[in-house]
Amino acid sequence: MQCNHLIRLMKDWYLHVKEETMAPARMMQFADRHIVQCDVCRQDAALAEEIEKIRDFVLPESKIPKSERDEEEATPEISLDEGEEVEAVDGEGDEEFDDDFEEDDEV
């Protein structure tokens, strides 16, 4: 990041995010707005990569668009070895839970 003004702004905005007086998404909107308007930022070739790292760090998982999350976390498929079986749950131990509920009803 070559723009000292952006560095200072990002630090200030991040403090607001930590204090919960600014939403992380709002911080990134302000950063994007600054980058579009600033001559130094527009000429910084490595800035886009740095901003994405900051965005990944600052934004909670739920605020990242679902399409991007799906690309990032490819869920591994569970494969069974040949001859391996999955045990089915047949309701064993349900009596214990039934007893607990009956005791709670009496109170």
User: pTM (2 decimals)?
Assistant: 0.55
In a domain, 37, yes or no: yes
Identity of residue 98: D
Domain range for residue 40? 4-71
Exposure string for 29-41, b = 16+ CB within 10 A, e = fewer: ebbeebbeebeeb
In a domain, 97, yes or no: no
Domains: count for the chain: 1
> What average pLDDT does range 79-102 have in this prediction?
50
In a domain, 105, yes or no: no
Give the whole-angstrom CA distance, residue 27 versus residue 5.
15
In a domain, 98, yes or no: no
In a domain, 83, yes or no: no
5-21 pLDDT tens trace: 999 999 999 999 999 89
Chain centroid to Cα 88, Å, comes to: 34
Exposure string for 2-24, b = 16+ CB within 10 A, e = fewer: ebeebeebbeebbeebeeeebeb
Q: What is the pLDDT of residue 95?
A: 52
Q: What is the pLDDT of residue 101?
A: 47
37-74 pLDDT tens trace: 999 999 998 999 999 999 988 887 655 556 655 655 55
